[in-house]
Each structure stands twice: as C-alpha cells, then as structure tokens.
C-alpha cells in the first residue's frame, strides 16, 4: 500500500469509527492494525506504541524482528516494571512476622521498621536500570510533588547526581544525612509504589496517530473520529497474555466496569491491578 492508498484507507477508517460511534465493537480495528504492522521499520515514522499494540492485539508480536521488539517494547517494559514492584512487595510481605512487633507499635510502623533501605545504597546495574530512568516516567510530576515536593525533572537530576556508576554497580555517594534519606526514600518509591500513571495515555496515542496521518499526507483537520481509536486499542488488549522473564504470565482483561486490568502472579500469588481506568 503506497502513501496515497494509506491516506485514503485512514480517512475511510476514521470516518467509519465516527459513523458507528455508539456501536463500535472493536472488529473494525483489525484493518488498521494490519496497516500499522505492514509499515516497514526503517520508515521515518515514530509510532512505537501503535506498532506494539498492533502486535499484541493481533497476537503477532512474536513475529516481529529483534530490532522491532526493541523499538516497540515500551508497553511490555511498563507492565514488567509493575510486575517487579509487586514481586518486591510480595517478597517483603512474606518476611513480616507481626508476632515479633514490639508492644504498642502500629502495623504501619512495624512494616516501615522492616524495610531494608540499605539495598539502595549499592545496586547492581540491572536492578538500578530497571528502576531508573524509565521507571521514573511511570509516575509523573503530580505524584512526585505530592510525595517529595519536587518535580519529575528535579527527581531525575537528583538521582543522576547522587549515584556513581561503575561497570557493574551504581553506588550512592556520601552526602548529608537528610539528602541521603530523601534519595533512599525516592528509590524505594520507584521500586514499590503502585500509584502509577495509566499504562498508556490517550495523549500518547493521539500524538502517534497524528504522526501516522502526517506521514501519509492526510489533511488531519478534516478527519473526524480519531479520538475513538484510543478506547478501541484499550479494549483490544482484553485477554492478552504477557510473559515475564521468570516464565510467569500476566493476563490483561477488561473488567466489568470497563477498566483495563491485569492479573499478576508475583510468587505465584494473584494480584489484580487497574492499568487504565475507564474514568480517565
């Protein structure tokens, strides 16, 4: 399909979404996904989320080349970081023994007293780079300002200045006690907090859709229905399975309320987490 043909197809596709706005079932999404998957990787076109979603929804992500997987693995990496956080939480909960708590101490204080912050002083390269820098984008400005009074970029700069990298490790440099406590608390948050942003946003899909339309030369102001693509892509992930490095699977599903949720199994125990809320 050349650019002119792709332009005509996309105009017809989005017009169809607009015309069937109330009755969209997702079946009409397949031709669009086929088009996305047909586009060559070396084109001057940035649509990594659309490529990855097309592969996941059509169950053709395993057929992508290694280069394509590296380019389009954003969603899987986001899901994997959520899984790692749950694994860490499950591991810590498994070590708690409330019978050993001092008399009068609250459950919250006992749990906090059992946190091993020393693990964030020296971290191996793989552990550190799973948390940072990509992991910081899982939360966003509002979260960091609420918890630490700092913006995301300030948090990023603070971490970069505070850790010294070697071939195999990242080590927290000596600083005043207050600064080190802040860094340790931030790293703990990046590793365990579940207050993350949506798995992917309508703004991200809008940007990539506009990149695609611009690439084929579409006059975007005359193409209605573009905003309907996002909910269809979310719904398309119903029953998709994500396999983690340890071999355990996370099942994505659309809940009875319309949320995109995932059932993770850290340590073999099920945890269900909302990944995209229908209220957004």
pLDDT tens digits for 241-278?
Answer: 999 999 999 999 999 999 999 999 998 999 999 999 98
Task: Answer whether residue 27 is part of any domain.
Answer: no
Task: Answer whether residue 215 is part of any domain.
Answer: no
| Residues spanned by the domain of 104 | 81-192
Task: Answer whether residue 67 is part of any domain.
Answer: no
Note the pLDDT of residue 62: 54
Q: Which letter does DSSP use for residue 173 in this model?
A: P
Helices (H), the chain: 3-19, 30-38, 48-57, 66-72, 74-95, 107-113, 125-131, 141-148, 152-162, 177-192, 202-215, 229-236
Note the pLDDT of residue 134: 87
Condensed to tens digits (0 to 9), the pLDDT of residues 139-170 reads: 989 999 999 999 999 999 999 999 999 889 99
Task: Answer whether residue 141 is part of any domain.
Answer: yes
Looking at the structure of the chain, the number of domains it has is 1
Q: Report the C-alpha gap between 14 and 42 in whole angstroms.
A: 25
Q: Report the C-alpha gap between 209 and 230 in whole angstroms.
A: 10
Task: Answer whether residue 98 is part of any domain.
Answer: yes
pTM of this structure: 0.87
Ranges under pLDDT 70 in the chain: 21-26, 61-72, 97-98, 107-110, 112-113, 221-222, 279-280
Task: Answer whether residue 58 is part of any domain.
Answer: no
Q: Would you tell me how many other CB atoms lie within 10 Å of the CB of residue 271?
A: 19
Task: Answer whether residue 28 is part of any domain.
Answer: no
């Amino acid at each position: 399909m050349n650019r002119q043909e792709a332009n005509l197809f996309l105009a017809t596709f989005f017009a169809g979404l607009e015309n069937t706005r109330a009755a969209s079932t997702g079946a009409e999404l397949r031709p669009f996904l086929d088009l996305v998957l047909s586009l060559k990787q070396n084109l001057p076109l940035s649509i990594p989320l659309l490529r990855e979603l097309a592969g996941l929804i059509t169950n053709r992500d395993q057929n992508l080349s290694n280069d394509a997987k590296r380019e389009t693995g954003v969603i899987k990496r986001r899901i994997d970081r959520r899984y790692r956080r749950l694994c860490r939480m499950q591991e810590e909960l498994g070590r708690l023994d409330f019978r050993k708590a001092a008399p009068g101490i609250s459950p919250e204080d006992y749990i906090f007293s059992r946190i091993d912050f020393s693990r964030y002083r020296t971290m191996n390269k793989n552990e550190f780079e799973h948390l940072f820098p990509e992991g910081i984008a899982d939360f966003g400005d509002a979260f960091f300002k609420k918890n630490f009074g700092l913006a995301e970029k300030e948090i990023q700069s603070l971490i970069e200045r505070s850790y010294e990298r070697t071939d195999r490790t990242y080590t927290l440099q000596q600083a005043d006690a207050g600064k080190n406590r802040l860094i340790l608390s931030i790293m703990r948050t990046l590793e365990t907090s579940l207050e993350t942003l949506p798995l992917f946003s309508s703004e991200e899909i809008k940007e990539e859709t506009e990149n695609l339309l611009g690439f084929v030369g579409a006059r975007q102001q005359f193409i209605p229905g573009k905003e309907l693509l996002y909910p269809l892509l979310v719904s398309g992930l119903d029953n998709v399975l994500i396999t983690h490095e340890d071999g355990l699977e996370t099942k994505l599903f659309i809940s009875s309320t319309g949320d995109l949720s995932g059932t993770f199994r850290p340590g073999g125990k099920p945890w269900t987490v909302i990944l995209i809320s229908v209220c957004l």
